[in-house]
Amino acid sequence: MNTAQSLSGMFKKTYALQLLLLVLLTGACTDIDKDKKTDVVNVRLEGAPTTMNAFLTSSAYSLFVCNQVFQTIGNLDPNTLEMKPLLVKNIPTVRNVTEGNYKGLLAYDFELLDGAQWDNGTPITANDVIFSLKIIFHPGLPTQNWSSFFQALQAVEVDPANPKKFTVYYKEYYMLALESMCQFFIYPAYNYDPNNRLSAIPLSDFLDKTKIAALATSNNDLKTFAEEFNLPKYANDKSAISGSGPYRFESMNDQAAVVLKKENWWGDKLAAEVPMLTVYPQKLVYKVVKDEAAAENMLKTGDLDIVTGLNAAKFVELKSNAALTEKYDFKTLGSIQYARWIFNLRSPKLSDVRVRRALAQVIDYEYALKTALQGLAQGIVGPVNPAKSYYAKDLKPYSMNIAAARQLLTEAGWTDTDGNGIVDKMIGKQRVEMSIDLLAPITNKINELLANSLRETALQAGVKINVIGADINKITADTKSGNYESAFLGAQLFPGHIELYSRFHSASLSPAGDNRTAFADARADSLIVAIRTNPDEDQRKALYLQIQHLLYEQLPEVPLFAPMQRIIVANKFDYVLSANRPGFYEQMFKLK
């Protein structure tokens, strides 16, 4: 063998060794990268989150993400649905105050966890709780949805010897006093009010409607705070968004929102004694996947770990796919929400209850339940969970009855005078056809099927339904502002006591409140207040039954059905599902 051949052989051997080493190293790096990537939970959202300022949004998608950055005093245990500590040492019981300045009131005594702290290392104190309540009661902010839960709040007193201890006083019994105090977001005053605009105004002034109304026009700090709190940086600037939660906000756009686990987060040290502080994933990615076909493809490629919102037929179809069931579990749980057709009662066409009752009977409920939902839902008569003991079982869900619908329309003065198949009526000096716009999030297949079915069946009664497909965020905004005629819009079925004030009381009319239908009824107002303030469980049950009957008769909204939760979960995790919305606790997903 000559020298050239010897060198050539040596080069080949060296190259082979280098190639082998490169393959091994590349494989090792790939495995490491893969392991890192698996400590991520990818959650499907059907709509895009739009802000990280939790007090300024009614979007469920935004709040899903905010829940990981901000914390509340307590949270519902995913299994028992009992209130458990999150930022405090214990969930208190109510006590009657028998002496002192607050004699005769009801009180709850709280103590924040010693180790609970903000991102700058300072402790969370009662002053942060008070600051957050000031935001809720600020007259220049759209936070009435929050303040409606605190109407019985009288005062918050901080222990002068310990800034982590405070007592909350209520002037009267309120069924959700403890729950509401435990479940509003606590904001760091140092970050969201760096100029101390609100510090000189005592909470008592915010709780006094007369004083705060006067301050709204005279106090420059109050007005300036509202302007500053509305700044875009608190909505989407990761350097300006800060909470005590386990994750820090990283990014948000129309495709995804990302939060990253904080290094040395204070809650990790306390999770053994405070189980609700348990957090595992290093990263949560909320992927905006509106299209079901795209969600299906991402399941097949493993790019999603939690998927909800698929139509029932698709859920059943995918559940039969052996390749998917190897990687995913398909779970059905009880209902946590209900679908409804809401009406804007400001519209002259919809102000007559006979018209609304007619519309309730042009819907093909059997098609919706058996075909669109594949039997994975149940009919419902109102805003109360069918599993509740005070659900009005004596009422029957509305059913399709075209003849009855036509009769009701005729009684309300709607007849087909020009023979075009659509009933009409003189309103003022103008003849108006019964043509109703319907906002529907038709990217959801069930809504699309239901909207198309409604359009066909309503025509049989002489009603024209104009289906307007829209993004859920637009529907949420338009119904909140009153810029709509009717809409398909889901609503939550709360696991605890059902609070109807924000959606059906006349004091909660949108846009300030969440009464989007403009329903105003003195009887309903009286019943809703009585439900909130009556401590007797049996009496409250009777009141719940009465309000369900009234809403069933007046129909500011038509309850369509309560779908079972359909959740697809990657089985590489030990996961936590719940009857509490949204049906899962993603921060507790642990890689097996």
Are 498 and 544 contacting, i.e. CB atoms less than 8 angstroms apart?
yes
**Which structure tokens are listed for 124?**
């969370």
pLDDT tens, position by position, for the chain (592 residues)? 443 444 344 334 444 444 333 333 334 333 333 434 569 999 999 999 999 999 999 888 999 999 999 999 999 999 888 999 999 999 999 999 999 999 999 999 999 999 999 999 999 999 999 999 999 999 999 998 899 999 999 999 999 999 999 999 999 999 999 999 999 999 999 999 999 999 999 999 999 999 999 999 999 999 999 999 999 999 999 999 999 999 999 999 999 999 999 999 999 999 999 999 999 999 999 999 999 999 999 999 999 999 998 989 999 999 999 999 999 999 999 888 899 999 999 999 999 999 999 999 999 999 999 999 999 999 999 999 888 889 999 999 999 999 999 999 999 999 999 999 999 999 999 999 999 999 999 888 899 999 999 999 999 999 999 999 998 889 999 999 999 999 999 998 877 788 999 999 999 999 988 999 999 999 999 999 999 999 998 999 999 999 999 999 999 999 999 999 999 999 999 999 998 888 999 999 999 9
3-state secondary structure (DSSP) of residue 43:
strand
CA gap 426, 417 in Å, rounded: 11
CA gap 229, 236 in Å, rounded: 13
**How many residues in the chain?**
592
pLDDT at 32: 33
Report phi then psi at 356, rounded to 5. -65, -40
**Which structure tokens are listed for 319?**
């559940």
Q: Domain spanning 337-563 has what CATH number?
A: 3.10.105.10
3-state secondary structure (DSSP) of residue 135:
helix
3-state secondary structure (DSSP) of residue 129:
helix
The residue type at 88: V
CA gap 51, 65 in Å, rounded: 9
Running DSSP on this structure, what letter comes out for residue 588? Answer: G
Are 75 and 84 contacting, i.e. CB atoms less than 8 angstroms apart?
yes
Running DSSP on this structure, what letter comes out for residue 391? Answer: S
CA gap 325, 299 in Å, rounded: 11
pLDDT at 496: 77
The residue type at 454: L
- The closest alpha carbon to 153, from 84, 107, 92, 86, belongs to 107
Are 530 and 543 contacting, i.e. CB atoms less than 8 angstroms apart?
yes
- Tell me, which fold does domain 71-230 have in CATH? Dipeptide-binding Protein; domain 1 (3.90.76)
CA gap 340, 479 in Å, rounded: 13
Q: Which residue has the tokens 């998608």?
A: 61
User: Identical fold at 71-230 and 247-334+569-591?
Assistant: no
pTM tops 0.85, yes or no: no
Are 312 and 292 contacting, i.e. CB atoms less than 8 angstroms apart?
no
CA gap 208, 217 in Å, rounded: 15
Domain boundaries, the chain: 71-230, 247-334+569-591, 337-563
The residue ranges of DSSP E strands in 19-88, in sequence order, are 40-45, 74-76, 83-85
CA distances to 15, 210, 535 from 153, rounded to whole Å, are 77, 15, 16
End-to-end CA distance of the chain: give it in Å, rounded.
57
The residue type at 521: D
pLDDT at 25: 35
The residue type at 133: L
CA gap 582, 587 in Å, rounded: 13
pLDDT at 9: 47
Q: Which residue has the tokens 């600020």?
A: 138
Are 183 and 74 contacting, i.e. CB atoms less than 8 angstroms apart?
yes
- Tell me, which fold does domain 247-334+569-591 have in CATH? D-Maltodextrin-Binding Protein; domain 2 (3.40.190)
CA 122 to chain centroid: 30
Query: For residue 112, what are the contacts with CB-CB under 8 A and spacing of at least 6?
Result: 87, 88, 89, 123, 124, 125, 126, 129, 164, 165
CA gap 82, 94 in Å, rounded: 16
CA gap 510, 478 in Å, rounded: 11
Pairing of strands 83-85, 74-76: antiparallel
Are 210 and 162 contacting, i.e. CB atoms less than 8 angstroms apart?
no
pLDDT at 334: 85
**Torsion angle, alpha carbons of 359, 362, 364, 369, to 10:** 20
- The closest alpha carbon to 288, from 302, 273, 298, belongs to 298
CA distances to 170, 345, 413, 484 from 352, rounded to whole Å, are 40, 8, 10, 17
Pairing of strands 435-440, 486-488: parallel
Q: Which residue has the tokens 């005629």?
A: 485
3-state secondary structure (DSSP) of residue 452:
helix
The residue ranges of DSSP E strands in 506-575, in sequence order, are 557-563, 565-570, 573-574
pLDDT at 500: 95
